Amino acid sequence: MSIAYFQEERIFKLNTKATSYIIGVIDEDNFLGHLYYGKKLRSHQVSYLGRINEHPFIPSKNNRDRVSFMDAFPTEFSSHGLGDFRESCISIRTEKGCSAIGFSYRSHEIINGKPELAGLPSARGTKESCDTLIITGIDEPTGIEMKLIYSVYKELDVITRSVKVINNSPSVCYLTKIFSACLDMDNQDFEAVTLHGSWARERHIEVAKLAHPKLSVESVRGESSHHDHPFMALKTRDANYDSGEIYAMHFVYSGNFKIQASLDQFGMVRMVCGIHPQDFCYRLEKGESFQAPEVVLTYTDQGFNGMSQTLHDLYRDHLINGIYKDKKRPILINNWEATYFDFDTEKLLAIAKDAALLGIEMLVMDDGWFGKRGSDNCALGDWTVNEEKLPGGLTYLVNEVNKLGLKFGIWFEPEMISPDSDLYRAHPDWAIAIQGRTAALCREQYVLDLSRPDVIDYIYESIAKILRSANIEYVKWDMNRPLADLGSAYLKPECMGELSHRFVLGMYELQERMMKEFPHILLENCSGGGGRFDPGMLYYSPQIWCSDDTDAIERLLIQEGTALIYPLSCIGAHVSTCPNHTVGRTTPFATRGLVALFGTFGYELDITQIPDEERMMIPEQTAMYHKYNDLIRTGDYYRIASYRENRFYDLAGVVSKDKSEALYIFIQVMGRPNHRSRIIKLKGLNPLFDYRIEESGEIIAGDSLLNGGFVIPQLNGDFQGKLIYLQKI
Ligand code: GLA
């Protein structure tokens, strides 16, 4: 068992492969204290870290200063309104109108395996991989119960946390705030690492020193967002790619979130993570419960690469699911940047024909195939084939594409409704809007009210009808606007604060149903590029479209931030045409291919129009994908240098678990005059192995490559790339 309870000392010790997490039950009031999280310890005897023998002392020794105790005690789950003035994890308004709530340990159970969270995505765990601790606490005066759920991965340095709140009080209450995890510890000169961005420049890495002003990342957009990412790591100042301590939280949820780190008067840090409390108010009748989403927690003393590898393993092995979990994905060509809305069967078949000849394996038909949609101002919700564009419908088109030897994929934006649609004309009350207010448009569309079971059923049936009608093997599920005007014609006023969360639950239900009925489909989530790239979505789809920005150089920054926490196998990346449609930059076709290789790899261009020299490179690139994808999908990721930091070149690599092969991609962003070659110390290799460099045939000892380095010749020009592949001899 990776979880032990020491009865005498009332201590829980949770052990992963290399970390320990220790919790203590303290004093007559049964406070639950956080004692330790970090490198694995031999002993559980760390009660002294709770520092209850110094001022302000525990209440049994100094009840006159109870508030001071509450405000200094390192807790597992911070209460609200009872003297702990730091960030609370929970707030519940009872019928008395008050919202103070405490947590007092009552009981616990330790089980083998990992229970699923009803209606929510969560990391998967078996009896072999996980044990789970459930600590039940109670707020005595109200009777409200809280279950803190900890699952411990035995072979991975990951602990997941979530909370379930049960209204065992005699009457209705309103949950107005619920965070899923809390981590109190002394500050170690921490810096916070977060991912920030906007449309077309998602997930750029930012580092900020932790000081007294609170530091938080959050979204109130109804989706995890392009702007902030539901992830935060606290790193010691000396932490770098390969060493140094990092504590990270990643939220398995796709809606509003908040992760905050704050420094208190005594130099202690509190990190919390959960659903954003803004506009959140969940009504719980007597006996009802609320399950909060899961937080992934990891600690490493192996720097960023250590953290990335742990999270990649967790998501590849325990979150991503379905038939493509461990499989190479078909190389697709998507017609969005090729045609936008201006396409028909003939045009698509012309693309498919050329694509088939060059080694591409699937055609994806993007936005514009349904209703009267000829631009982005109408028809969302009318999921019927536009036979003017596609004569003979999907059956004809898909058959023809299949005859060429290609699979066929399709685009949907199921959560949306255009005011100019048959659906809206029939059901205006299905859109999210506040009665008496004109709802604000975004991309000329509204969001459907997914708190309504009738809307869920309608959307599901209309999508499923299309998917049943032809041999469709891929779906791109898009979501192109945030939520605003939060009102539902269905929810009662006292439940209106549930809308954002119910929306997310409804979307999860739709994806769950779809993948159950169509398990053969490769699902790729998307949200105006990478606006909903989060672990919640990854539970349903093995890959997510990373950004609408397909420029190879912009992608270096976006993919670096994304790969910091997500495996390369899930990062949607395509070779597109130049000048790039988003930034207007022209980069070599080969470099575009190398950047997309460290992702899912595909194309998004009009293959019938590109220059011959580019077209002739496609068979080479598709062969490169087939040759290296197993390694890229399954290997350990190492960041070696970053264009973000040096403004000059970028270098990352993947090394197979057995260290028998490695692939590094070097991109020289800016050419420089009068330079020699560059020696770079490679990472991840076995010092005792000898490796053959594929390009030169040279054999070099592993320890020479690691400590002496590899010589990268000076490349001529900007935006040049080089692939370095080595194999153990
Ligand atoms: C979003 C996606 C694009 C494309 C368009 C279609 O912006 O990110 O890839 O599918 O929608 O409208």
Q: What is the pLDDT of residue 714?
A: 86
Tokens (6 digits) for 724:
């370095």
pLDDT, position 1: 87
In 3-state terms, what secondary structure has residue 579?
coil
Q: What is the pTM of this model?
A: 0.98
Nearest ligand 1 atom, CA 411: 10
Query: Residue 654: helix, strand or coil by DSSP?
Result: strand
Q: Ligand 1 pocket: which of 548, 549, 550, 600 to mutate (most atoms <8 Å of CB)?
A: 548
Name the residue of 223, 366, 603 to mutate for ligand 1: max ligand atoms within 8 A of Cβ. 366
- Residue nearest to ligand 1 atom 1, measured at CA: 528
Cα radius of gyration (the chain): 27
| Catalytic residue check, 131 | no
Residue nearest atom 11 in ligand 1 by C-alpha distance: 528
199 touches ligand 1 (CB under 6 Å): no
Pick the residue whose CA is nearest to atom 12 on ligand 1: 367
Residue nearest to atom 7 of ligand 1 (CA): 528
Q: Tell me how far apart the alpha carbons of residues 317 and 377 are, in angstroms, rounded to a whole number.
A: 41
Confirm if 541 and 523 have CB atoms less than 8 A apart. yes
Asked if residue 587 lies in contact with residue 578, where contact means CB atoms within 8 angstroms, the answer is yes
Q: 409 in ligand 1 pocket by Cβ < 6 Å?
A: no
Helix (H, G, I), strand (E, B) or coil at 307: helix
Whether 478 lines ligand 1, by a CB cut-off of 6 Å, is yes
Are the C-beta atoms of residues 148 and 77 closer than 8 Å to each other? yes
Helix, strand, coil: what percent of the chain each, to 5? 25, 30, 45
Nearest CA residue ID for atom 2, ligand 1: 528
Cβ–ligand 1 distance for 366 under 6 Å, the answer yes
Task: State the DSSP H helix or E strand holding residue 612, giving kind and residue range, or none if neither.
Answer: helix 612-615
Contact 421, 371 (CB under 8 A): yes
Residue nearest to atom 6 of ligand 1 (CA): 367
Identify the segments of the chain with pLDDT beneath 50: none
Q: How far is the CA of 525 from the centre of ligand 1 (A)?
A: 11
Choosing from 84, 228, 548, 551, the catalytic residue is: 548
Place of tokens 């709530």: 101
Q: Is the CB of 418 under 6 A from ligand 1?
A: no
Question: Is 548 one of the catalytic residues?
Answer: yes
Residue that the structure tokens 């997500």 belong to = 566
Ligand 1 atom nearest 548 alpha carbon: 8
Ligand 1 atom closest to Cα of residue 604: 9
Local structure of residue 716 (DSSP, 8 states):
S
3-state secondary structure 244-257: ECEEEEEEECCCCE
Which is catalytic among the residues 27, 139, 382, 478? 478
Pocket of ligand 1, candidates 526, 527, 532, 558: which has the most ligand atoms within 8 Å of its Cβ, to mutate? Answer: 526
- Ligand 1 contact via 593 beta carbon (within 6 Å): no
From 480, 524, 546, the mutation candidate for ligand 1 (largest count of ligand atoms within 8 A of CB) is: 480
C-alpha 29/C-alpha 49 separation (Å) is 19
Q: What is the pLDDT of residue 674?
A: 85
Distance CA(535)–CA(529), nearest Å, equals 16
- In ligand 1, the atom with minimum distance to the C-alpha of 545 is 8
Q: Ligand 1 within 6 A of 336 CB?
A: yes
Q: What pLDDT is stored for residue 322 in this prediction?
A: 97
Contact 4, 20 (CB under 8 A): no
630 CA to middle of ligand 1, Å? 28
- 526: Cβ below 6 Å to ligand 1? yes
Residue with tokens 């707020």: 139
> Does the C-beta of 337 come closer than 6 Å to ligand 1?
no
Ligand 1 atom with the shortest distance to the CA of 529: 8
Give the Å distance between the CA of 244 and the centre of ligand 1: 39
Nearest to 367 by CA among 403, 397, 394, 337: 337
Cβ of 545 less than 6 Å from ligand 1: yes
Does the beta carbon of 528 lie inside 6 Å of ligand 1? Answer: yes
What is the Cα–Cα distance from 361 to 339, expressed in whole angstroms? 19
411 CB near ligand 1 (under 6 Å)? yes
- pLDDT at residue 675, rounded to an integer: 85
Report angle CA 652, 232, 259 to the nearest 5 degrees: 155
N residues, the chain = 729
The rounded Å distance from CA 336 to ligand 1 centre is: 7
The phi and psi torsions of 634 (rounded to 5 degrees) equal: -110, -10
C-alpha 354 to ligand 1 mean position (Å): 23
Q: Is 572 in the pocket of ligand 1 (CB under 6 A)?
A: no
183 lines ligand 1 (CB under 6 A): no
Distance 6 CA to ligand 1 centre (A): 54
Residue carrying structure tokens 């779906």: 475
- Among 336, 476, 600, say which to mutate for ligand 1: greatest number of ligand atoms within 8 Å of CB: 336
Query: To the nearest 10°, the Cα dihedral for 416, 422, 427, 428?
Result: 70
